[in-house]
Each structure stands twice: as C-alpha cells, then as structure tokens.
Amino acid sequence: MQKMRHDPSRWDENILRYTPLDMDYKEWLEKSPYVLKAAKLGNHILEVGGGSGLGCLSIKKEFPEKEVTYSDTNDEVCRLAVKRFAFHNVKIPVKKIDAFTLPFDRNAFDVVYHEGVAEHYDEPDIIRMLREHLRVAKFVVMDVPTKWGLGMGGYGDERKFDNIDWHGIVFRAGKIVEQFFREKRYGCVLTRRLEL
C-alpha cells in the first residue's frame, strides 16, 4: 500500500495561504510553465493531485476547448477547487480519486498531468503510480522539484532528485520513453507509452 512521506492534513491551510481563490492564474503559470506543455499534448486532460486547482484553471483559461478533469484525494482540497473554479467562472469536473487506482478505462485521456505529487512517495510507489497513469493516458507530464531547486515550504518531505534519478525511476516504470526538461527550481518529466 502506498504511503505518503508526510502528513497531508495541512494541505488545505497551505493552499489557501499560498494560492488565494482570487489569485490570477497567470501569476501561478509563470512559476509552473509545464502545465502548458501538458495541455498541448491532447484535448482530454486529467490532473492528478490537483491541489489548488490552478493547473486545471490555467489550461481551461488558456485553451477553453480542452476537456480538463481535476482530481485529488483530499475532500477539503476538492471543495476548495470547486470554489476556485466557480470564482473564475469555469466548468471543470472535480473528482475525489486515488492516484494509484484511477477509475477510468484504458486510454480515457490524452494526458495525465501532476505537479509536486510524485516526490512525496517512495520510488516503488512512484513507479506504480506512473504505470497507472500511463494506463489511462498516452502521455504523462510530471512537474517535480529537482535537487537544484529552491526550498519549498509547508508541504512536507519533498525529495529532490536529479535528472539521473528521475530517468531511472521512469525507466523502471516500463516500456515508455521520456524526456526531461529543467527550468528554474522544477524539472519536468514527459513520458509517453510505447505502443506494442
């Protein structure tokens, strides 16, 4: 069974502190440029561990034609996302689901995107989660802190791997190809399932 490396009970408090409901998504987007890379890979996008909801909000505002689904495991965080989407007048489905057992058919989405999620788990769980995401989508974009990054506050035990570590984790996830991008404090791993 997967186990997070920290206590997620402070998430709702941190989300409100760092990303108020009226926050301009463009301000957030400057710090998280990979969400747009994810959006350009397809029309049906699932954000896993959506937290603040700013990833889905950014995609929907920049690409209104995209079908975006938000998900998280935390009830309060999901309620905050609903409030954020209503405040910004966008319609985005909100699902309370587990990132390890997605209730969707194979290939239900073009892209699964998550930011700041994978590094909270141990390597075997990251691999298992990545395989599940690649089951429901052809592409997975993970935005993760790197060891070159700036310190993050309040979100718990965020492990900072280097490029080689992330390459190894993705390689062990199976028959996929990947690319690694690095910008400022975050790195982005783009994975693509190989069709057999």
Residue pLDDT, tens place only, 145-190: 665 554 444 455 566 677 777 778 877 887 666 666 655 455 666 6
- Domains of the chain and CATH, by start: 8-193 (3.40.50.150)
Q: Is the pLDDT of residue 129 over 70?
A: yes
pLDDT at residue 180 in the model: 62
Between β-strands 186-193 and 176-183, what pairing exists: parallel, antiparallel or unpaired?
antiparallel
Q: Give the residue-averaged pLDDT of 4-9.
A: 53
CB atoms inside a 10 Å sphere around CB 162: 13
30-50 tens-digit pLDDT: 777 778 888 999 999 999 999
pLDDT digits (tens, 9 = 90+) for 50-68: 999 999 999 999 999 999 9
Task: Give the torsion through C-alpha atoms of 174, 176, 182, 188, to 10 deg.
Answer: -80
Mean pLDDT of 16-43: 82
3-state secondary structure of 125: helix
Residues 94-103, mean pLDDT to the nearest whole number: 96
At 186 the pLDDT is 54
pLDDT of residue 118: 85
Mean per-residue pLDDT over the chain, rounded: 81
What are the tokens at 102? 């997605």
The reported pTM is: 0.85
Of the two residues 186 and 72, the one the predictor is more confident about is 72
Q: Which residues contact 176 (CB under 8 A, 6 or more apart)?
A: 134, 170, 191, 192, 193, 194
- Decide which of 196 and 123 is more confident: 123
pLDDT at 7 > cutoff 70: no
